[in-house]
Amino acid sequence: MIPDIGDIIELIANIPEKNLYAGLSGTVVHSHGNDVYEIEFSNEKGETIDFLSLHKKYFMIIWRSETKQWIPIAEQTSSLVSGMPDDIAKQVLDFARFLSLKIANQNRGDSIVPQ
């Protein structure tokens, strides 16, 4: 997914030297090309914390300015998993399968663990 100006992003990596941590939201304010974007990070009062040029591998888009819609959780998850090494991505998939089975069993009233 290519970021657009005005999109809201979420960091997926820590940048401790800037006191910016995974989970922090920012806004795309400029495209430098080569998958590098200028991101503005703000606090709850709307005051700018920092501007930082980041490669798109360090963030994921969570809200699209063009459509004025939040990115669905499944797409956000896919975005995160696609950047992981295969062995870690497989662990995420295994966990997702476990949760899916657990939900299916709860809906049927079955125990997920055989008795």
> In the chain, what is the greatest distance between 2 CA atoms, to the nearest angstrom?
58
Give the pLDDT score at 44: 87
Local structure of residue 115 (DSSP, 8 states):
-
Please count the other Cβ atoms lying within 10 Å of the Cβ belonging to residue 95: 10
The pLDDT, as a whole number, for residue 93 is: 95
Distance CA 20, CA 14 (A): 6
CA distance 45 to 57: 27
CA angle, 62 then 21 then 44, to 5°:
70
Per-residue pLDDT, 101: 92
Residue 107: band (very low, low, confident or very high) from pLDDT cuts 50, 70, 90: confident
Average pLDDT, the chain: 92
Mind listing the pLDDT tens digit for each residue in 49-95? 999 999 999 999 999 999 999 999 999 999 999 989 999 999 999 99
Res 112 pLDDT > 60: no
Does the pLDDT value for residue 111 go beyond 60? no
The answer to whether the CB of 50 falls within 8 A of the CB of 42 is no
Q: Give the DSSP H/E element, type plus range, for residue 69.
A: strand 69-70
Percent of the chain whose predicted confidence (pLDDT) is above 70 = 94
pLDDT at 72: 97
Structure tokens at 45: 């009062």
What pLDDT, on the 0 to 100 scale, is given for residue 43? 86
